[in-house]
Amino acid sequence: MDPLSTLWETFFDWDSMREALPEMLTVGLPNTLILAVSAALLGSVLGMLLAVAGISRTRWLRWPARVYTDVFRGLPAAATILLIGVGLAPLGMEVWGPNPYPLGILALSLIAAAYIGEIFRSGIQSVEAAQVEAARALGFSWGEAMRVVIIPQGVRRVLPAWVNQLIALIKDSSLVYFLGLLASQRELFRIGQDYAANTGNQSALLLAGLFYLALTVPLTHAVNWIDRRLRHGRPAGAPGDEDDDLTLAGAVEGSPR
Partner 1 sequence: MNTSVSVSLRDVHLAFGANRVLRGVDLDVPRGATACVIGPSGSGKSTLLRTINRLIEPDRGDVLLDGRSVLGDDPDRLRQRVGMVFQQFNLFPHMSVLRNVTLALRRIRKLPEDEAVAVARHELDRVGLAAKADARPAQLSGGQQQRVAIARALALQPQVMLFDEATSALDPELVKGVLSLMAELSAGGMTMVVVTHEMGFAREVADTVAFMDRGVVLEAGAPAAVFEAAEHPRLRQFLSQVL
Residue with Cβ nearer partner 1 (40 or 149):
149
What is the rounded (10 degree) CA torsion for 167, 168, 174, 180?
-130
Residue nearer to partner 1 on the CB measure, 2 or 243:
243
| 245 near partner 1, rule: CB under 8 A | yes
Count residues near partner 1 (CB under 8 A). Answer: 31
Q: What angle do CA 111, 148, 66 make, to 5 degrees?
A: 30
Of the candidate spans 49-57, 87-95, 148-156, 170-178, the one that interacts with partner 1 by CB under 8 A turns out to be: 148-156
Q: What are phi and psi of 160, to 5 degrees?
A: -60, -40
Among 9, 49, 122, 156, binds partner 1 (CB under 8 A): 156
Span from 30-38, 52-60, 109-117, 236-244 in contact with partner 1 (CB under 8 A): 236-244
* 242: contact with partner 1 by CB under 8 A: yes
Instruction: Kindly tell me which residue out of 134, 197, 214, 217 binds partner 1, with binding defined by CB under 8 A.
Output: 134
Q: Is 160 in the site for partner 1 (CB under 8 A)?
A: no
- Report the alpha-carbon distance of residue 35 to residue 18 in Å, rounded: 25
- Rule CB under 8 A: say whether 114 interacts with partner 1: no
Closer residue to partner 1 (CB): 53 or 149 = 149
Among 94, 98, 253, 256, binds partner 1 (CB under 8 A): 253
Question: 153 vs 220, which CB is nearer to partner 1?
Answer: 153
Name which position in 144, 161, 171, 193 contacts partner 1 (CB under 8 A). Answer: 144
Distances (CA, A) of 116 to 83, 103, 166: 21, 19, 9
Q: Looking at 99, 153, 164, 220, which residue binds partner 1 (CB under 8 A)?
A: 153
Distance of CA 68 to the CA centre of its chain: 18
- 2 near partner 1 (CB under 8 A): no
Q: Which stretch binds partner 1 (CB under 8 A): 51-59, 105-113, 125-133, 190-198?
A: 125-133
CB nearer to partner 1: give 91 or 248: 248
Q: Rounded to the nearest whole angstrom, what is the least distance from the CB of residue 223 to partner 1 in the complex?
A: 17
Sorted by sequence, the CB contacts under 8 Å of residue 31 that are 6+ apart come out as: 185, 186, 187, 188
By CB under 8 A, name the one of 139, 200, 235, 237 that touches partner 1. Answer: 139
Q: Are 189 and 209 in contact (CB under 8 A)?
A: no
